[in-house]
Amino acid sequence: MLIAWSKGADLLMDVTDLAGLESIADVRGPREYRLEAVVEMVTRLLCDLVQQGVRAVLGWRCAGWMGWRRSRGAMDIGQGSNSVIAQILATALGADVRDLALVGPDTDVTPDAGKTSAPRQTFVSGNAAWLAGVSLRAMILERCNAAVDAVLRFGRGVVEVADGAGVHRLELADLAPDGEGYVLRAEERYDPPTLPLDANGQGAPYAQFGYAAHLVVVEVDLKLGLVKPLRFVAAHDVGRAINPLLVEGQVQGGIAQGLGMALPEEYLPGRTENLHGYLIPTIGDVPPIETLIIEEANAHGPYGATGLGEHVLIPTAPAILNAIRHATGVAVTRVPATPSRVRAALREAGYEGRCEPGKDPLRCLPGDVLHRRWPRGGV
């Protein structure tokens, strides 16, 4: 990560998904939730955090253009790392996120942040950003001999530092640049605290874990085998929601992906050649989703954050299969639970689809199937 300040042009901020964002504290608020659902699936999820350091570099550059430069190698593939890492940095530095200009990822000019997978960029690159922001802020305060709680304001070619003793001005033109043109620079690296496995397979290969509970209500057509999710409630412990709106987006996208895994998506070697026969859910297939953001701060995460990646995908399909069993008494043990598979499972359980008009279809199931149904979900 590289952040720089230089003179010669207007403030520039080239991050499309930062519009309207403030520091972490400005996008958060109290939330109250009430859980009501039929079937629940609680899963303890493992985060894919490899032991790979991520470097963060911040600085002020004395030539070219005016603005903060934040260079980072973290690739944003839609999960929102551009926004989240910028918010973490802005909060640590005491700057406005709108003062940041994003550079990268480009291995010619930015450090290597490793792969973008699971929740690792918020946790690993976020920590590097936090360390670099704290370090650069300390440099500024030291030069101005200002208090630790001083307020920083960034203008064209100048930084104003206000504390109880007054306002201090740091003129960038008065500072000598280094070989790369930076007048102030902070470079930090973060390695997750992990331990390799020993001969007995014991150790701490991951720095943090994720926790989630999914609840889903489904409707099952006993004659056709069609399964229709009606409502999802997803509770996720993210440590600290740096950007609650992005958390909700991650949850909604993960449930849509898990719904596809559970119901319509099936690859048949030699037969599936395009998306015409490989059925991906559309927004019309996704039921209402209620997101419950649980915040139990992680001791190692930036501001307590742990991130949110495949946590949402993992419990979605099991929750749907549990709901099918809860509704019918029949267990479907293979995904996707296509209508033909659900119908075959019902037939195997003794349900032939014959039922008197007006009678509850479940009462047409054999007694042993009804006995296997349970009132409160689970496996």
Phi, psi of 44 (to 5 degrees): -95, 120
Strands 67-71 and 5-6: antiparallel
| CB contact at 8 A, 255 and 312 | yes
SS3 52: coil
Distance CA 157, CA 66 (A): 7
Residue 13's Cβ-side half-sphere holds a number of Cα atoms within 13 Å equal to 14
| CB contact at 8 A, 7 and 62 | yes
Q: What angle do CA 74, 77, 83 make, to 5 degrees?
A: 65
Distance CA 261, CA 39 (A): 18
**57 strand-pairing partners:** 2, 187
352 is catalytic: no
Name the CA dihedral angle for 105, 109, 111, 115, rounded to a multiple of 10 degrees. 30
CA dist list (Å): 193 to 67, 205, 367: 34, 9, 54
**Which residues have a Cβ under 8 Å from the Cβ of 123 and sit 6 or more positions away?**
47, 49, 192, 207, 208, 300, 301, 302, 305, 306, 307
From the CA atom positions of the chain, what is the Rg in Å? Answer: 26
Which one of the listed residues 310, 348, 352, 356 is annotated catalytic? 310
Strands 67-71 and 100-103: parallel
| CB contact at 8 A, 136 and 57 | no
DSSP 8-state class, residue 35: -
Distance CA 55, CA 47 (A): 20
| CB contact at 8 A, 74 and 116 | yes
Residues marked active site are found at 310
